[in-house]
Amino acid sequence: MGKILVTAALPYANGRVHLGHLAGAYLPADVYVRWRRLKGDDVVFVCGSDEHGVPITLNAIKRGCSPQEVVDEYHPANGAAFAAAGVQFDIWSRTSSPEHHALSQQFFTRLHEQGFIDKREIQQLYSEQSKMFLPDRYVEGTCPRCGNTDARGDQCDACGGTYEVTELKNPRCALPGDTSKPVLKSTAHWFLLLDKFQKPLEAYVAAHGESSAAPWRLNSLRGSEGWLKMGLRARCITRDTEWGVQIPLGNEDVSGKRLYVWFDAPIGYVTFTQQLFAQRGNPGGWKDYWQNPDCPIYNFIGKDNIPFHCITWPAMQLGANGKVPPGERPYSLATNVVANEFLNFGADKFSKSKGNLIEIGWFVERFGAEALRYYLTAIAPEDNDSTFTWSDFAHRYNGELADVWGNFVHRTLTFTHKYFEGMVPEGAPAGETEAKLRAEVAAARAESAASLDGFRFKAALGRVLDAARAGNRYFDERAPWKQRKDDLAACGTTIRVCLETVAGLALALRPFLPDSSAKILGAFGLDGAAAHKAGSANQDAAALVKPGTALAQPEVPFKKIEEKDLPAEKA
């Protein structure tokens, strides 16, 4: 049983998480964690709220409250939303904790003492009207990369480009009520000298190329290669704000300045792991995951976070590793950075700041977690952006999950109860047709498993649905409603093989549809705990379907969604 660490990008606690977030990082991470645990691995899954940064202070300004009030509202709400969708973190923590502030300052100090951070006087945008410097999202304007006129101060949602706020063209103040044109003024800030890590980062990225043993997705790989090809430059890691981690330089004037949120945010992965093991009564246990070369680390993120996870965070780790205290080991860098593209809402992007979103909790309350998990995996934006529409959701839920998988389960169990007293029939010896269906189910489980290992969750789910379609075709071709009148033994064989198919595919669907799969497997006498037990990825379905096994009363696994239940496309 191997150790594995899985992280999911920390969402800002400036609003409620939405379907774009879930599809981009958290659902695929949860599916992967469940899969590796079924294989018997010891997996730690950490996440939490990113509670610093301009999005939060902007929200506080607009609402006329403190940043602390904002994060105290959204941190528990977002944790509950993820839980409602079946995403089960081992810890859901927050970057405003004292432990996180202390570790972030330790990283800064290690890097600073080795000369990887220096202080520079720079020109920064300033509002004469609000009498303050304007970092990051306090400014909007035209992207210097693609020309998008609604780009944020440090990052463009249209092209995914990142840049310094002073590179933004035609800047305008994003503060409510501030109509002044930003001007440049001098201010002091601290920079992480990324250029000093050019060579080691080139080697790190090359080690995860397409032909490597642990290849990254092409978006992570190409994005990283592009940054390295341009040549890394020093990046500012402090901001003019009163909200965030204090800069640990007591001998310098750091008033009104804090560490940049993208410096401290990835450190949260380490902090949360430390907190988890402290809660478990094993304070040093985190080292077996973060400082263990035999423990792979998988980062699940959206594509807008690629440069931070593939360039900045590894550089911070490499720098910190140069000053490892006695008794410690170096930090391990990510084995794989699994980045998804964007999930769009119709023709627009999901966006908290623009209010263009579908909240996770709202969706689950109306349609259920399993419907959400199925659809977002079926249209997962793994290689390209994908689009959510209400009509497509209803079409695929009804036509695939309900009509293909749900129908096959229900018709098989219902027939068993109606004509075989709810017990697995013995039947006659299986023939060539039965052998083909059994081979199809075995192949589907094996190919789905291979896709899961390769982070191809959409393909893994689709392969299981293909086998369910084959099960329905077999049921129709064998026509057990006719067989029972002419050859009850042959009918028994048909139903027994269909029951084997139900059990086998329910086993395969556990990472994607944990609740419904557990209920279906419960019909065969496998309780919820056993249905999710470690070491059962290759569990034999036939062992659950022995002749004479009593089956629970069937229920309709997935009820159809009526058109009247759907919101308007742009509601």
The whole-angstrom distance between residue 201's C-alpha and the CA centroid of its chain comes to 24
Q: What is the mean pLDDT of residues 183-205?
A: 96
The answer to whether 484 and 548 have CB atoms below 8 angstroms apart is: no
Least confident window among 191-205, 241-255, 345-359, 385-399: 345-359
Q: How far is the C-alpha of 469 from the C-alpha of 471, rounded, in Å?
A: 5
Mean pLDDT of 529-549: 77
**Pairing mode of beta strands 91-94, 117-127:** unpaired
| Short-list 339, 349, 342, CA closest to 379 | 342
Q: Is the dihedral of CA 424, 425, 429, 434 positive or negative?
A: negative
CA distance 450 to 245: 42
- Give 421's DSSP letter: T
* Cβ neighbours of residue 179 closer than 8 Å, sequence gap 6 or more: 129, 173
Contact 245, 105 (CB under 8 A): yes
pLDDT tens for 6-16 read: 999 999 999 99
Whether residue 423 is found in the same domain as residue 438:
yes
Span 91-117, mean pLDDT?
97
Q: Is residue 312 included in any domain, yes or no?
A: no
* Residue 523 to residue 148: CA distance in whole angstroms: 55
Q: What is the pLDDT of residue 513?
A: 97
Q: Are residues 484 and 547 in the same domain?
A: yes
* Residue range 160-170, pLDDT digits in tens: 777 878 888 99
3-state secondary structure 204-257: HHHCCCCCCCCCCCHHHHHHHHHHHHHCCCCEECEEECCCCCECCCCCCCCCCE
Q: Are residues 417 and 514 in the same domain?
A: yes
- Model confidence over 322-364: pLDDT tens digits? 998 888 899 999 999 999 999 988 766 666 555 667 999 999 9
486 domain-assigned: yes
CB of 240 closer than 8 Å to CB of 132: yes
pLDDT at residue 229 is higher than 80? yes
Query: C-alpha dihedral over 562, 563, 565, 567, to 10 degrees?
Result: 160
The answer to whether position 492 is within a domain reads yes
- Asked if residue 290 belongs to a domain, the reply is yes
Of 85-94, 125-134, 216-225, 335-344, which range is least confident? 125-134
Query: In this structure, are 127 and 275 located in the same domain?
Result: no
pLDDT in tens, 501-526: 999 999 999 999 999 999 999 999 87
Looking up tokens 């002073």 gives: 166
Given 210, 238, 259, the domain boundary residue is: 259
> Of the ranges 15-19, 118-122, 152-156, 394-398, which one carries the lowest mean pLDDT score?
152-156
pLDDT above 90 covers a percentage of the chain that reads: 76
Q: Are both 61 and 134 inside the same structural domain? A: no
With 60 as the cut, is the pLDDT of residue 570 above it? no
Q: Are residues 121 and 63 in the same domain?
A: no
Shared domain check, 287 and 216 = no
Each residue of 24-81: pLDDT tens digit? 999 999 999 999 999 999 999 999 999 998 889 888 988 999 999 999 999 999 999 9
The angle subtended at Cα 175 by Cα 76 and Cα 257, nearest 5°, is 75
How far apart CA 316 and CA 212 sit, in angstroms, is 24
Query: Three-state DSSP class for 394?
Result: helix
| Residue 316 lies inside a defined structural domain of this protein | no
Are residues 242 and 203 part of one domain? yes
**pLDDT (0 to 100) of residue 534:** 53
Give, to the nearest 10 degrees, the angle between helix 407-419 and helix 457-478.
40
The CATH number of the domain where 269 resides is what?
Answer: 3.40.50.620
Where do we find the tokens 């035609």?
A: 170
Q: What are phi and psi of 221, to 5 degrees?
A: -70, -50
Q: CA 115, CA 291: separation in Å to the nearest integer?
A: 23
The answer on 287 and 246 residing in a single domain is no
User: Are 150 and 299 contacting, i.e. CB atoms less than 8 angstroms apart?
Assistant: no
Q: What is the mean pLDDT of the chain?
A: 92
- Domain count for the chain: 3
The parent domain of residue 532 ranges over 389-563
More confident residue, 531 or 439: 439
CATH of the domain at 155: 2.170.220.10
Q: Which helix (H) or strand (E) holds 63?
A: helix 54-63
* Mean pLDDT on 295-323: 96
Does pLDDT of 527 surpass 80? no
Do 407 and 356 reside in the same domain of the chain? no
What pLDDT does 163 receive? Answer: 82
In a shared domain, residues 232 and 170: yes
- CATH number at 538 reads 1.10.730.10
Residues 246 and 126 both lie in one domain:
yes
Looking at 210, 241, 259, the residue that finishes a domain is 259
Sole residue written with tokens 């100090």: 109
Quick one: tokens of 25? 């990082």
Q: Residue 130: what pLDDT?
A: 85
- Please give the average per-residue pLDDT across 417-429, as a whole number: 92
Lowest-confidence region among 31-40, 129-138, 270-279, 460-469: 129-138
Confidence check: pLDDT of 451 > 50: yes
Whether 336 is in a domain gets the answer: no
Predicted TM-score (pTM) of the model is: 0.93
R_g of the chain, CA atoms, integer Å:
27
- Confidence (pLDDT) at 571: 47
Mean pLDDT, residues 267-282:
98
Beta carbons within 8 Å of 510's beta carbon, 6+ residues apart: 34, 38, 517, 518, 531, 532
Answer whether residue 307 is part of any domain: no
Evaluate whether 234 touches 191 at the Cβ level (below 8 Å): yes
Least confident of 32-46, 96-110, 261-275, 355-369: 355-369
Q: Scanning the structure block, which residue is given the tokens 């660490």?
A: 5
The last residue of one of the domains, among 233, 259, 285, is: 259
Tell whether 313 is covered by a domain: no
Residue 533 has pLDDT above 70, yes or no: no
Q: What percent of the chain has pLDDT over 70?
A: 96
The pLDDT value recorded for residue 503 is: 95
